[in-house]
Amino acid sequence: MPMMTGAEYIESLRKLNTEIYAFGQKIENFVDHPLFRPHINAAAVTYDMAHEPEFEDLVTVKSHLTGKKINRFTHIHQSTEDLVKKVKMLRMIAQRTGTCFQRCVGFDGLNALYSVTYEMDQALGTGYHKRFVEFLKYVQENDLMSAGSMTDPKGDRGLRPSQQADPDMYVRVVKKTGEGIVIRGAKAHQTGIVNSHYMVIMPTVALGEADRDYAVACAVPVDAPGIFHVFGRQTNDERRLEGEIDTGNARYGIVGGEALTVLEDVFVPWDKVFMCGEYQYAGMLVERFASYHRQNYGGCKCGVSDIIIGATMTLAEYNGAAKASHIKDKITEMLHLSETLYCCSIACSAEGRKTASGAYYVDPLLANIVKQNVTRHIYEICRLAHDIAGGFIATLPSEKDFLSPKTGPFLEKYFRGVAGVPTEHRVRIARLVENMTGGTALAESMHGAGSPQTQRVMIMRQSNMEHKKRLARKLAGIPEQE
Amino acid sequence: MFNVGVKYCGNCNPVINSKKILDALVKGMPGCRFGPPDAGVPALLILSGCETDCATRPGLQVETIVVAGLSVDYVSCKEEDIPEIVTKKLIEIKGRMMA
Ligand SMILES: Cc1cc2nc3c(=O)[nH]c(=O)nc-3n(C[C@H](O)[C@H](O)[C@H](O)COP(=O)(O)OP(=O)(O)OC[C@H]3O[C@@H](n4cnc5c(N)ncnc54)[C@H](O)[C@@H]3O)c2cc1C
């Protein structure tokens, strides 16, 4: 099958038997359900844009496996140019959706597994890479969306997987047969999983010998027997069931649509198993995946910030405050913060390196700097947006009150800003700012792709401290041998 | 004498001491002459200070060994093992050329 369009992608989801629960109920038709549809629309943009000549240089690429034109979200980076184009693509798509379009997590999982399975085979004589390449070809040829399933529920954070009171706190292998393996556990915070085709499972942490059963990487259809998904709540999610304006971004929603995915003794055939017991390589897989994923945030979050900044400036104009010097200064600060994120993402891509498999990997130090900045800059950008927007983003009455014959005319009158701008426009932009800058959207910047401390550990580890100390000693006139 | 062209990256923020590695190779391989990467050398040794490996390639179509930070030919290793790994690879290249 050639690259899918957005409509074909949406149709492909109807053919799955994905078991989903939300608000205490089993969801029968998630594709047309207002809780899920905005996230599906956002993911569909990644498919549609591949068919638009204006965007194809970023969204499509030639497969190094088949030579065919494929969607970049299924590609293995073959150069630093590929890494840079990934960032540009993410920014460009986020400028259209204003939210997470979910397809990068699986993309990063595929790239991490590609190089790690290769190196694992070289060192241990296993045969995972060939299997993985077959799966990858299948993904590319069918233009599939995969969820990147790394995070386990983790139970007691102070204990290793094998030390947990409940052994299911991390996904593990409970049985091996001639045909495959059976896995049990759950994956948490799974972005876009309900509207994916496959989940690419990886371990969450570096593992020791006692954790051997937890060293498992594999690909499973999201509707495989034994799998069900419980959809996570988001700030303001019920507004989707009520109307349009109050959601802010009715077409694409906010964040990615995350779920807890439960794996109750799920069978995985050997041809989809890419790590099974090789605990020594879990750490490398986690680090590669995390670095690829942290690279993204100066792309997509910068695209999202482009919209927040545009919305904030528009609101300042609607409020009649745009010419004030402090407003201009705050907007400049928002631009500075956002473009700093972009600089970091471009830098870690341009400084990318070749791996033994031939695939390219980002500079892990700079990629971790990107994400560390995101945990701060996005909060500051949103704080400044709140400052400039004014308090009405927290107190606006509902869309229904604007439509009511009794209250509507008064709201129309008292929520007006400068003359010539309809009140509804001011309200729409305010709702966009409100929904893009608070609650779930903020927490994603903090924990998505790992909590801040995980980046700090990586930053210190990659810091090349000996070199810095040597340079300092030399300038201070301390002899080298000391 | 077996000539090996050597190309450094520029060493903006090196994680290895490329010069020390080359010194060890010169000492351990008296049958090799390590010099500039001129046309005509039968083998090339790239010495990049980190894994970004940005050393400009001299455009020679010859057997090449790439040291990039803590890796040789893209396989991770310890800094102290680099001279030994490169030595083995150079002996293999020399052997192939003699055959
Ligand atoms: C919106 C969103 C989308 C996401 N999408 C995905 C996805 O698609 N796929 C996926 O696999 N994951 C996804 N994640 C998960 C994300 O990677 C995790 O949230 C992140 O790694 C943090 O894990 P946690 O949420 O369990 O927090 P915790 O690990 O509980 O962290 C809470 C705090 O405790 C600290 N802490 C935790 N353990 C220790 C310890 N052992 N020692 C010291 N301090 C500790 C942390 O540093 C942090 O400060 C997503 C998360 C969010 C919020």
Give CA–CA dist A356/A121, Å, rounded: 11
- Alpha-carbon torsion (A412, A414, A415, A417), positive or negative: positive
For ligand 1, atom 25, name the residue with the nearest CA.
A447
Backbone dihedral angles phi then psi of residue A191, each to the nearest 5 degrees: -65, 130
Give the DSSP per-residue string, A386-408.
HHHH-THHHHPPPHHHHH-TTTH
The reply to whether residue A353 touches residue B52, judged by beta carbons under 8 angstroms, is: yes
With a 6 Å cutoff on the Cβ, whether A159 touches ligand 1 is no
Question: Please, where are the H alpha helices in B5-81?
Answer: 18-28
A473 lines ligand 1 (CB under 6 A): no
Cβ distance A363 to B75 less than 8 Å, yes or no, reads no
* Average pLDDT, integer, range A108-129: 98
What Cα–Cα distance (Å) separates residue A247 from each residue in A252, A383, A398? 10, 20, 10
Q: Is A306 in the pocket of ligand 1 (CB under 6 A)?
A: no
CA separation for the pair A94, A252 (Å, rounded): 10
Q: Supply the mean pLDDT for chain B.
A: 95
- pLDDT tens sequence across A192-247: 999 999 999 999 999 999 999 999 999 999 999 999 999 999 999 999 999 999 99
C-alpha–C-alpha distance, residues B81 and B39, integer Å: 29
The pLDDT confidence band at residue A482, using thresholds 50, 70 and 90, is low
Closest alpha carbon to B8 in B77, B54, B75: B54
pLDDT band at A1 (very low <50, low <70, confident <90, very high): low
Q: What CATH number does the domain containing A346 carry?
A: 1.20.140.10
Nearest CA in chain B to A356: B74
How far is residue A271's CA from residue A259's CA, in Å, rounded to a whole number? 26
ipTM over 0.95: no
Whole-Å CA distances, A372 to A85, B55, B94: 22, 29, 48
- Residue of chain A nearest B73, judged by CA positions: A356
Question: What is the structure's pLDDT at A108?
Answer: 98
B29/A contact by beta carbon, under 8 A? no
Q: Which of B48, B62, B39 is nearest to B7 (CA)?
A: B48
3-state helix, strand, coil in chain B (%, to 5): 30, 25, 40
Report if residue A102 sits inside a domain.
Answer: no
Collect all residues of chain B within an 8 Å Cβ-Cβ radius of residue A122.
75
On whether the CB atoms of residues A113 and A265 are closer than 8 A, the answer is: no
What percentage of chain B has pLDDT greater than the value 70? Answer: 100
Choose the residue to mutate in A151, A237, A368 for probing ligand 1, maximizing ligand atoms within 8 Å of C-beta.
Answer: A151
Cβ atoms A326, A395 nearer than 8 A: no
- Higher-pLDDT residue of B98, A107: A107
Give nearest CA residue, ligand 1 atom 30.
A157
Local structure of A183: helix, strand or coil: strand
CB A307 within 8 A of CB A239: no
Residue type, A336: H
Contacts of B13 in chain A (CB under 8 A): 464, 467
Residue A481, pLDDT > 80, answer: no
Q: How far is B15 from chain A (nearest CA, A)?
A: 6
Question: What are residue A323's phi and psi, to 5 degrees?
Answer: -85, -10
- Asked if residue A98 is part of any domain, the answer here is no
Q: Which residues of A touch B52 (CB under 8 A)?
A: 351-353, 363
List residues of A with catalytic annotation.
Answer: 100, 104, 191, 258, 293, 297, 300, 444
Say how far apart CA A75 and CA A416 lie, in whole Å.
Answer: 49
Mean predicted lDDT score pLDDT of chain A: 97
pLDDT tens for residues A251-306? 999 999 999 999 999 999 999 999 999 999 999 999 999 999 999 999 999 999 99
Per the CB < 8 Å rule, is B15 touching A464?
yes
User: Per DSSP, what are the bridge partners of residue B44?
Assistant: B5, B64
Residues of A in contact with B20 (CB under 8 A): none
Distance of alpha carbon A443 from alpha carbon A460, whole angstroms: 24
Return the pLDDT at B99. 82
Confidence check: pLDDT of A449 > 60? yes
**In the numeric block, which tokens belong to residue B83?**
């001279």
User: Residue A68's Cα: distance from chain center in Å?
Assistant: 26
Residue nearest to atom 1 of ligand 1 (CA): A444
Q: How far is residue A293 CA from its own chain's centroid?
A: 7
Of the residues A369, A467, A469, A471, the best mutation for testing chain B's interface (the one with the most B CB atoms within 10 Å of its CB) is A467
Q: Residue window 43-82, chain B: list those with CB within 8 Å of chain A.
A: 50-53, 68, 73-76
**Which of A119, A353, A467 is closest, CB to CB, to B53?**
A353
Q: Which of A300, A256, A253, A307 is nearest to A435 (CA)?
A: A253
Per-residue pLDDT at B25: 97
User: In this structure, is residue A303 part of a structural domain?
Assistant: yes
Instruction: Judge if the beta carbon of residue A444 lies within 6 A of ligand 1.
Output: yes
pLDDT for A79 equals 98
Q: Is residue A105 part of a domain?
A: no
First and final C-alpha spacing in chain A? 64
3-state class percentages of chain A: helix first, strand second, coil last, to nearest 5 = 55, 15, 30
Is any atom of ligand 1 closer than 6 Å to the C-beta of A136? no
How many domains does chain A divide into?
A: 1
**A314 within some domain:** yes
Mutation pick from B53, B74, B75, B85 vs chain A, by most beta carbons of A within 10 Å, is B74
Could you tell me the residue range of the domain that residue A328 belongs to?
285-471
Residue A95's contacts (CB-CB under 8 Å, 6 or more residues apart) are A303, A306, A307
pTM equals 0.95
In a domain, A382, yes or no: yes
- Residues B18-24 have a mean pLDDT of 97
